[in-house]
Copies of this chain bind each other. A is one copy, B any other.
């Protein structure tokens, strides 16, 4: 099953959610939670050090699991300019880790992610969290909303591809960064 894993990242300077999903079964279409969590960086630390922690997290996860893709949520343009700049820096750190290891990066909008995992593009966080638990057959979904968001975007890559991930194809509707 090597190479069939997908790494979802929800980058933020203070909290970066991550989730690794493996697709198992004859058609490699049964999602299975490998690992998820959230990296919190201390606000007492300087920005370069916090970015480095995010970069090292993503680098380490890729090296540990050899996923076939990194998936991130598309930039959310509803936020303020200063928030966008800060998220952009964290997002850049995560994307760079993938780029430096030659891993392809895909992105989906928040609406696409919600649509894919709940069937409703305007679903709220609670619905997404609930569906993550259902889709991954967990007793209860991860507590961290950031980890859930990361898992949701990883699952979206799979759902949107419409073919087994192992086949190496992704729907034309997905956006490769």
Interface 9-residue window, one of A22-30, A89-97, A126-134 = A89-97
Residue interface bits A35-70, CB-to-B below 8 A is 1, else 0: 000000000001111011001000000000000000
Task: Tell me if B88 and A96 are in contact (CB < 8 A).
Answer: no
Task: Tell me if A96 and B95 are in contact (CB < 8 A).
Answer: no
Copy number of this protein in the oligomer? Answer: 2
Q: Which of B48, B87, B90 contacts A98 (CB 8 A)?
A: B48
Residue interface bits A80-123, CB-to-B below 8 A is 1, else 0: 11101111111111011011100011000000000000000000
Q: Which of B52, B85, B93, B104 contacts A85 (CB 8 A)?
A: B85
Which residues of the other chain, B, contact A48 by a CB distance below 8 angstroms?
95-96, 98-99, 104-105, 177
Least CB distance from A132 to B in Å reads 25
Tell me the bound Cα distance from A21 to B84 in angstroms: 31
Q: Is A138 an interface residue (CB 8 A)?
A: no
Task: Tell me if A93 and B91 are in contact (CB < 8 A).
Answer: no
Find the residue from A80, A96, A176 having the highest chain B CB count within 10 A: A96
Tell me the bound Cα distance from A14 to B85 in angstroms: 16
Tell me the bound Cα distance from A100 to B59 in angstroms: 13
Q: Is A79 an interface residue (CB 8 A)?
A: yes
Tell me the bound Cα distance from A55 to B99 in angstroms: 10
**Please, which residue of chain B has its CB at the minimum distance from the CB of A74?**
B85
Tell me the bound Cα distance from A177 to B49 in angstroms: 9
- Of the A-B pairs whose beta carbons lie under 8 Å apart in the complex, a sample of 8, sorted by A's number, is A46-B105, A46-B177, A47-B105, A49-B99, A55-B100, A75-B86, A77-B85, A96-B96
Counting from the closest, the 3 A-B pairs by CB-CB distance are A88-B88, A92-B92, A89-B92
